[in-house]
A = this chain, B = another copy of it.
Amino acid sequence: MTKIDDVARLAGVSTATVSRALRGLPTVSQATRERVLEAAAQLGYIASPSASRLAGGKTRAVAVVVPRITPWFFSTVVEAAEERLHQAGYDLLLFNLGGSEHARQRLLYTSTLHRRVDALMLVATPLAGRDFAAVTRLGLPGVTVSAGTPVPGWPCVRIDDVAAARAATEHLLALGHRRIAHISGDSSDELAISTHIDRRRGFQERLRAYGIEPDPALDVEATFTIAGGRGATAELLRRGEPPTAIFAASDEMAMGAIATLREAGLRVPEDVSVIGVDDHDVSGVVGLTTVAQPAAAQGRLAAEALLGPLRGAGDGPASPSVVLPTRLVVRDSTAPPRAD
């Protein structure tokens, strides 16, 4: 492997100059720079990242943490962030929590992240009280996406979950529904993420605005997946008279709900209306009514929010938080309740 000394020798300069020239620092004369570039090209020289990192103190890598990889929202955020990050010359280390508390602990309380990256992107990652200290101790710039838990001093890129839930619920209420169920994420314990809490809040808020007291029997918690939506809907049907409409906190949950309703002999939307949140790629195929959120934009903006402080050597001010707009997309899974 050719090293910096080889290039220095061939170009007839010091290694310090090679280092400067190759990194594009301004304090190198045009002539010298050209000589170095040519020597490097001729030898096929590429600096060792490990050596650069050790000497320079920067890893040029960012850790992206997601609760799952496959769901539409997360994979879309990662895809968008990946593009922006690589374009800016940063490596992307991917960490999946997979819903396992063990993985979460490993990430926060072992050497997993220690000096491995220059910045952190936490996507819908739940943090309990003591976890903030662990995150802060890393001393890195960071950003949260789709507020798992807001980290003090970090910007957050997200949608207004309360408003999104309000829009979905309002759509069902305006159609005439009064017996509306909600399928959402777990918002009971310390690790609940604000997304779940906010979507439930928006739902209940609209209900109360119509003089309806939220019925605990019509509120089921599940994971943000098709399987979660299936299970929650089965539970709902088990509890007695089905609702006339279901507001699911994600499109994947909504699709699971539709599948289970149909298997139970109920028609959508004739017997039960279903609305989700996301505007998943397949929602158009399924004809699912939903509140669309811009996932790719969130990934892109989150990466962008990191690049500022990263370029500013970690000292610059944190980027501002941003709240992106959502939009009701009416398709075929919602309709007025049956007249009977």
* Chain B CB within 8 A of A322 CB: no
Q: Is B92 in contact with A94, judged by CB distance below 8 angstroms? A: yes
Could you say which of A72-80, A159-167, A238-246, A301-309 contacts chain B? A72-80
Interface members, chain A 102-146 (any B CB < 8 Å) = 103, 106, 111-112, 114-116
**Partner of A91 from B68, B83, B116, B256 at Cβ < 8 Å:** B116
Cβ contacts under 8 Å, A259 to chain B: 284-285
B282 and A50 contacting across the interface, CB-CB below 8 Å: no
Give the CA-CA distance A62 to B335 in the complex, in Å.
50
* Complex: A151 Cα to B308 Cα, angstroms: 40
A70/B59 in contact, CB under 8 A: no
Q: Contacting A46 at CB < 8 Å: which of B115, B252, B255, B256?
A: B115
CA distance A252 to B106 in the complex (A): 35
Known: A115-B50, A286-B285. A79 touches B83 (CB 8 A): no
Q: Does A93 sit within 8 A of B, measured CB to CB? A: yes
CB distance from A223 to the nearest CB of B (A): 12
Most buried by B among A59, A68, A78: A78
Could you give, for residues 242-272 of chain A, a 1 whenever the CB lies within 8 Å of some chain B CB and a 0 otherwise?
Answer: 0000000000100110110000000000000
Measured between alpha carbons, how far is A281 from B256 in the docked complex, in Å? Answer: 10
Write out, one digit per residue, whether chain A residues 47-60 have a CB within 8 A of any chain B CB (1) or not (0).
Answer: 11111011000010
Copies of this chain:
2
Interface residue A82 (Cβ < 8 Å from any Cβ of B): yes
User: What's the nearest-Cβ distance from chain B to residue A104, in Å?
Assistant: 12
Q: With a CB–CB cut-off of 8 A, which chain B residues contact A50?
A: 50, 53-54, 59, 115
Chain B, Cβ-Cβ closest to A53: B50
Q: With A75-B75, A83-B98 given, is the CB distance from A258 to B285 under 8 Å?
A: yes
A192 interface residue (CB < 8 Å to B): no
Assuming the A-B contacts A50-B54, A51-B54, A284-B259, are A96 and B79 also in contact, with contact meaning beta carbons closer than 8 angstroms in the complex? Answer: yes
Bound complex: CA A54 to CA B53 (Å): 9
Known: A51-B54, A82-B96. A69 touches B59 (CB 8 A): no
Q: Does A86 contact B (CB under 8 A)?
A: yes
Using Cβ atoms and an 8 Å threshold, which residues of chain B touch A94? 78, 82, 92-94
- Chain B residues in 8 Å Cβ range of A103: 86
Query: How far is B283's CA from A282's CA once the two chains are assembled, in angstroms?
Result: 10
Q: Is the CB of B46 within 8 A of A111?
A: yes
Least CB separation from A59: chain B residue: B50
Q: A75-B75, A98-B83, A286-B282 are in contact. Are A54 and B48 (CB under 8 A)?
A: yes
Q: Within the assembled complex, what's the spacing in Å between the Cα atoms of A82 and B259?
A: 30
A-B contact pairs, 20 of them (CB 8 A): A46-B111, A46-B114, A47-B111, A48-B54, A50-B50, A69-B82, A70-B281, A75-B75, A79-B98, A82-B94, A82-B96, A91-B116, A92-B93, A92-B94, A92-B95, A94-B94, A226-B285, A252-B281, A258-B285, A282-B286
